[in-house]
Amino acid sequence: MKFSRVDAYAFLFGAILLAIWFGLSAKWKDAAPSTDFFEVNRLYVADFVQGDDPILSYDRTIKQKFLGTWAAEIYDAASIERTTPACFGDGSRIYNPGDEPPIPVTLKWFIDKDCHLGPGQYIVEVVWKIQPEGYPVKEYKTNSNIFNVIPMGGKLYVDPLILEQLEKQQKLLDNQIPAVGER
């Protein structure tokens, strides 16, 4: 079978279009922000007494499935140069839309280890490396509020807004557990 000059031009034109399509597709995937896959809406650490495992107000949205690796570091909030964390945790997992963290979320669960923090003010810094299939690695960073670790025997102040959120989470928990006789 012979190919005419028109066939050759058509083939060449099709090959050029395909190359442009693949090139644009790769650039589009490079340009896709991390928030197309994952977003933290809230990361709030309540003040707590030294030795306790505080409850966090943590809300995230997983928009698409991906493999994620994360590193969370707790720093002294007064430190200008954050070179040595007071506590560090890291891990990896598959993130799926609809996955929910446990209720309540504690610092131990979030960092994936016990953090023995002394009295002072701290902040949590978290970095996720998002590795969606078919896309280059994306990075998502967030920080918590500045929170206080109060010495044992000290007085703890709870922000009314956080108290309200914790009460709502407790009501959700209570509604998930059937009362005796309802099983």
Q: Is the pTM of this model over 0.75?
A: no
Q: Tens digits of per-residue pLDDT, 121-171?
A: 999 999 999 999 888 999 999 999 999 999 987 666 566 676 677 677 677
Q: Give the CA count within 13 Å in the CB-facing half-sphere of 106.
A: 11
Q: Where are the domains of the chain?
A: 1-31, 34-175
**Residue 21, pLDDT above cutoff 80:** no
Name the residue among 64, 130, 66, 68 with its Cα closest to residue 97. Answer: 64
Structure tokens at 143: 């920080």
Q: Choose which CATH entry (3.10.180.10, 2.30.30.20, 3.30.56.10, 2.60.40.10) describes domain 34-175.
A: 2.60.40.10
* Range 27-33, long-range pairs (CB < 8 A, 24+ positions): 29/134, 29/135, 29/136, 30/136, 32/135, 32/138, 33/138
Between 100 and 82, the more confident residue is: 100
Q: Tens digits of per-residue pLDDT, 49-93?
A: 999 999 999 999 999 999 999 999 999 988 777 778 999 999 999
Q: What is the pLDDT of residue 134?
A: 87
Residue 127 host element (H or E)? strand 120-131
**Residue 183, pLDDT above cutoff 60:** no
In whole angstroms, what is the distance from residue 146 CA to residue 176 CA? 32
> In 39-116, where does DSSP find H-type helix?
107-111
Round the average pLDDT of the chain to a whole number and report it: 82
Neighbours of 128 (CB within 10 A): 23
Instruction: Provide the β-strand partners of residue 47.
Output: none
Q: What is the pLDDT of residue 163?
A: 65
Name the residue among 46, 71, 47 with its Cα closest to residue 56. Answer: 46
Site of tokens 């949590």: 124
Q: What is the pLDDT of residue 103?
A: 87
